[in-house]
Amino acid sequence: MPWAASDGLVGSDSVHIVDGTVNVTARDDAIKSNQDNEETKGLVEIKGGDVTVATGTEFGNHGISAECKLVISGGKVKVTSSYEGLQANEIDLNGGETTISSTDDAVNASGSYTTPILNITAGKLAFLAGGDGLDANGDVKISGGTINAMINSSPDNEAVDLDGTMTFTGGTLLYGGTGTGATFDGAYVKLPNGGKTGDTVKVSDESGKVITTFTANADGDIVAVAATGITSGNSYQVSVAGTTTTVTAGSGLTEGMAGGPMGGMPQ
């Protein structure tokens, strides 16, 4: 699709992508559905394909925006430039591989149709945001998937920011960045000296059993990992780029990263 002077691919009722290659470059929203008067409308759904979008980086420009619901369950989604990467009242990430570059929030669950919510059940999500990372004006629920939530911002922004309750029952969440503090209301391990892009990070328990391993997608002065199998107060071996350190889960972070109460995760 050629460059669009305003919005790119727009479906008033809904937009559905199931396969193929979709490239959209627009000044405002690259992919958008803006109907809000029926529950089944204002929907953007991506089930497969290779989707690449780019927008302007000024206020209000979204990579993918849905008035009611945005669902990604498969395919590869790349937001190469945006002010906000993904925005909808409800965002469901149930599969696929999504990467985002944004000057403000990477994923923003906001709106007035219902209480905003961000659900992540599976798939891979990686981003580098200039504002908040995962941002919800309501709740965040994570039950699976691999998430690299990194920001390059200021202390007033957070890699995980929410107004409601965060429930973490599965998956792996790496979160942090540069120019931010870090707090987390559930079990986590803090990388002793942060990390660099491309660093291999491995977390193991005292018996040597590997809990999670992944590759850092961005530099971060303050970086932590939350995953099932990590319990606050227990000791873990954290290896970053081949250097291993023993750390105590649930300690080492200060203000600035995760707002809102945490539930559903071992303490």
State the pLDDT confidence band at 12, using cuts at 50, 70 and 90.
Answer: confident
State the pLDDT confidence band at 37, using cuts at 50, 70 and 90.
Answer: low
How confident is the model over 25-41, as a mean pLDDT? 84
Statement: residue 215 has pLDDT above 80: yes
Computed over every residue of the chain, the mean pLDDT equals 88
Q: What is the pLDDT of residue 259?
A: 37
State the pLDDT confidence band at 179, using cuts at 50, 70 and 90.
Answer: low
Residue 34: CB partners within 8 Å, gap ≥ 6? 10, 12, 42, 65, 67
**Is the distance from CB of 188 to CB of 159 less than 8 angstroms?**
no
Of residues 99, 162, 115, the one with CA closest to residue 135: 162
Statement: residue 34 has pLDDT above 60: yes
Burial (0-12, 13-18, 19+ Cβ within 10 Å), 132: buried
List, in sequence order, every residue forming a beta bridge with 31; answer none if it has no partner: 9, 64
Q: Residue 206's Cα: distance from chain center in Å?
A: 29
Encode pLDDT of 118-162 as tens digits.
999 999 999 999 999 999 999 999 999 999 999 988 777 888 888
State the pLDDT confidence band at 264, using cuts at 50, 70 and 90.
Answer: very low
pTM equals 0.90
Statement: residue 234 has pLDDT above 50: yes
List, in sequence order, every residue forming a beta bridge with 32; answer none if it has no partner: 10, 65
d(CA 103, CA 58): 8
The domain ranges of the chain are 3-263
Q: What is the pLDDT of residue 76?
A: 98
d(CA 134, CA 200): 23
CA distance to 83, 107, 208, 223, 236, per residue, from 220 (Å): 21, 19, 26, 6, 20
